[in-house]
Amino acid sequence: MASLVSRFASDVYWLGRYLERAENLARILDINETYARDDAAGPDWGRVLTLYGERSRFEEIHGFPTARGVLDFYLIDRGNPSSVKSCIHAARENARSIRHLISTEMWTQLNIFHIAVGRMKPSDASIEQLSRVSRQIIAGCQHFEGVAEGTFLRSEPWCFYQLGKYIERADQTTRILDMGYDRLAPAEDNPVAWVHWNVLLRSVSGYHAYRNRHPGASTPQDIASFLLYDEEFPRAVALCVNRITGSLRELERRHGSQRGEEAERERRKLEFLIETGPGKSLTPARLHRFLDETQAALANVSASVSGCYFAGR
């Protein structure tokens, strides 16, 4: 197992992260297109750049953020390491290095998906094609996830794959929530905001799960709380934190608690942050601050995992 930690743990961890990142980026772009359509002030494609902290870099290269420029930057620009095309390429390169650890079906599916994404053209990075392209990216990522779920041996590599996936998923859910944090006005005061929150909910495939929890009247705050705290919805931050905890504890069991002390400290800080968060008492400022704090805590967990388990590679 020591050879896995030193040579391959980082690759399988980032395989999970890159695929999750590509899927959620497609979701965020699709959400923003819907929001932009209904915004009386005009579309704000710079909002996506701000979510990922890349506005300055984008504007230095491309100038003012237009729909076409941002979609090109995040869908097909291989010069942007955060683009879907770059993420899927990086995922395939990571999978290549751990080819002996993953199933033939996983490798085959990822190659098929990589080829499809590689064929995306500039004409695909357009408003007219965004809905179709986003659905295809999401479906490709979910297809791979289904194959992994059914064929990946539940050994140490699986722990790192799950750890990467759920750290990334929690981070991306906070970014998706950040798309709506300033639209927390009561529905009766701002019906457009209510429509936008429903769009956001559907974008994470959470509408039916949410209605199972709230069959009657509800508020934007209820939706935000659901995506933060529900421990049974797969994209809720609380469930992701529970899965992170499970993976880290399994790694501690395999390697000893001393090996993962730093990661455990950061995990406890993240868990405490979620437990003591604003709950349903959400205001735009409070939600935005909590999302920033959660993203920082997740980054600290990721850095500590790297220090504990990847430093010897």
Residue 227 shares a structural domain with residue 299 = yes
Pair 221, 130 in one domain: no
Q: Which of 153, 188, 218 is the last residue of a domain?
A: 153
How do the pLDDT tens digits run along the chain, 313 residues long?
444 556 799 999 999 999 999 999 999 999 888 876 655 455 688 889 998 999 999 999 899 999 999 999 999 999 999 999 999 999 999 999 999 999 999 999 999 999 999 999 999 999 999 999 999 999 999 999 999 999 999 999 999 999 999 999 999 999 999 887 776 665 556 666 777 788 888 889 999 999 999 998 788 889 999 999 999 999 999 999 999 999 999 998 888 776 778 999 999 999 999 999 888 788 888 999 999 999 999 999 999 999 988 876 4
Q: How many domains, in total, are found in the chain?
A: 2
Give yes or no: residues 219 and 276 share one domain.
Answer: yes
CB 284 within 8 A of CB 181: yes
Same domain, 188 and 279: yes
The reply to whether 147 and 159 lie within a common domain is no
Domain around 280: 154-313
CA separation (Å) from 238 to 18, 96, 233?
A: 21, 32, 9
Note whether 148 and 246 are same-domain residues: no
Q: Note whether 235 and 111 are same-domain residues.
A: no
Boundary residue ending a domain (153, 168, 193): 153
Tokens in use for 265? 């400290």
Q: Are residues 44 and 106 in the same domain?
A: yes
Residue 82 contacts residue 74 (beta carbons within 8 Å): yes
Same domain (yes/no): 304, 265: yes
C-alpha distance from residue 116 to each of 77, 91, 109 (Å): 15, 14, 11
Looking at the fold, whether 139 and 159 belong to one and the same domain comes out as: no
- Which of residues 127, 153, 179 is at a domain's end? 153
- Mark whether 78 and 92 lie in a shared domain: yes
DSSP 248-278: HHHHHHHH-TTTTHHHHHHHHHHHHHHHTS-
173 and 147 belong to one structural domain: no
